[in-house]
A and B are shown apart, each in its own frame.
Chain A
Amino acid sequence: MRKVSPFNLASIGLGLAFLYLPIAILVIYSFNASRLVAVWGGWSTRWYGELINDAALLDSAFISIRLALVSATAATILGTLAAVALVRSGRFRGRLLFASMIYAPLVMPEVITGLSMLLLFVAITIDRGFWTVAIAHTTMAMCFVTVIVQARLVDFDMYLEEAAMDLGASPFDTFRAVTLPLILPAIAAGWMLAFALSLDDLVIASFTTGPGATTLPIRIYSEVRLGVKPEMNAVCSIMIGVVGVAVIAASLLAKLNVARAAPARPK
């Protein structure tokens, strides 16, 4: 019965074109030798060359990567714990509040999250900088990690864990030897998402940052606010390239994992 109509094909084709053309245009323009967008000055890697001399930009890139590593790792640990708590701990006291605090940040406008975080840091008089942004990013990203890991935990058979415990494994050993390997792909996906969210964030970082911790998005934002700049085209193209390669590598890896795990899955 599955018939693919021309309309179906056209919607997919146009949809993908809409999603990818702007990115393609940005990348093409990053190789434009001319400073003016209206003029095509031929292919050139001039803007990429100028980036290497931009110390402030490189500095920001370094801060952003460090920030993403720290907050993604913290968010993955906290988010995984939260997912295990939600799925395996049954009905503990305050579960509804806990679950609400997990789902609210997923849709909360960033301006509100950023503002509230900042006011907390001011209230407890912490100097703002790298670590305050890291805390803010961890809080926001851990909820995404929870949702991903939770989906995987619900998905697999609880009997596997019960069998391990019946055979005398302690809850901790069961988690380490049975649960953790099964949810590891989800944890890895969660870490990557948390990393990308941190690398990506402008609004929350703007609120919670302090002197000496200008992240790459904040730097890019202050440059592009005033208009299009060819150097920024180059920076953005590099970031697109890095993310593209990482995501494609990760989805290939996930595919291998699924292929290996599939025969072992019941049903």
Chain B
Amino acid sequence: MTSKPSFAEKLVVRIPYAWLLVFFLVPFLIVLRISLSQPALAQPPYAPLFNLLAGWHGVTAFFGALSLDNYALIGTDPLYLLSFVKSVEIAAFSTLFLLVIGYPIAYGITRMPRRVQVVLMTLVMLPFWTAFLIRIYAWMNILQHDGPLNRLLMALHIVSTPPVWLSTDTAIYIGIVYSYLPFMVLPLYATLEKLDESLLEAAADLGCPRTKIFWEVTLPLSAPGVLAGALLCFIPAVGEFVIPDLLGGSQAPMIGQTIWTEFFGNKDWPAAAAIAIALIGLLVTPIVIFQHQAMRAAERG
């Protein structure tokens, strides 16, 4: 469009833009500012507060009172460090498990006739529509001490004493893999489905064995899907709260739980804010890669 944008066209951009600035960007700046504050027994429970009435003196006093104490605390307290390490570890292994489980499913679906593919993908995505909390709760049922899983294992004589599932890391892995699986299968399916069949045929015609075709043609060509799926699972998994809270134990909390506890339990808002900023710092690289990829994909159509 070469004509000058009309007022209405400008509004199309400005309304959502303004909304996101106020409710997405500004909140982050506030988190950043509170992460530099000290907890206080007041309402709101942090200090210093910005005092406009005090004029210039108030401004200097405000900036003078900001400090990096909260970050120093995160850097030295082993509790926080452990929490970060555990979150990254669980998210990374979960992503790996999701790839190993999701890839054959996505690949299998692309082998089916077109009409069946649509039905199968709807079936894969359907659980995503049922509340996340419910799906985690379903696993609380299954993994209980005298729940269906243990009873099945006992009946099949796989174990003689029922193993403990709930409050373990295994349960967290099960929960994450279970609830994130649709997010892994969807991008994998999207790239695998667009794969040029003739390349596979060419490799086969030249006598390449099927497993080699997979490793040297199919897998490299599906790399964008693998990356998209991995990021789509890894980033939210690092900050996961509900799954470790309901299925995991209390020994070593994940970082999402730590933020929650600092905020709701200890009422230490500045510490919660500092951990949140540190978490964003940790995730900023994968988030930027994800944004870049999503933007490119969106513009290609």
A interface residues with partner B (beta carbon < 8 Å): 1-5, 7-9, 11-12, 15-16, 18-20, 22-23, 25-26, 29, 36-38, 78-79, 81-82, 84-86, 88-90, 92, 94, 98-112, 115-117, 119-120, 122-123, 135-136, 138-139, 142, 146-147, 150-151, 154-155, 171-172, 196, 199-200, 202-203, 206-207, 217, 220-221, 224-225, 227-228, 232-233, 236, 239-240, 243-244, 246-247, 251
Contacts and interface: CB of A to CB of B under 8 A. Distances in A.
Contacts of A135: 23
Nearest to B17: A98
A100 B298 CA distance: 13
B79 interface: no
Contact of B134 (A8, A78, A228, A236): A236
B8 A29 contact: no
A167 B31 CA distance: 51
Contacts of B130: 23, 239-240, 243-244
Contacts, number: 264
Interface string B132-165: 1111011111101011100100000000000000
A25 B12 contact: no
Contacts of A244: 126, 129-130
Contact of A203 (B1, B123, B140, B242): B242
A119 B27 contact: yes
30 contacts: A2-B197, A4-B108, A11-B107, A12-B105, A12-B109, A15-B185, A16-B123, A22-B141, A23-B130, A23-B135, A26-B137, A81-B13, A85-B12, A89-B13, A90-B1, A94-B17, A98-B16, A103-B290, A103-B295, A107-B232, A108-B236, A112-B239, A112-B259, A112-B280, A115-B259, A120-B27, A139-B20, A151-B298, A228-B141, A246-B129
Contact of B107 (A8, A19, A202): A8
Interface string B116-134: 0000101110110111111
Given A81-B15, A119-B30, A203-B241, A29 B5 contact: no
B137 A103 contact: no
B127 A29 contact: no
Contacts of B178: 18-19, 22
Given A18-B178, A98-B20, A244-B126, A25 B148 contact: yes
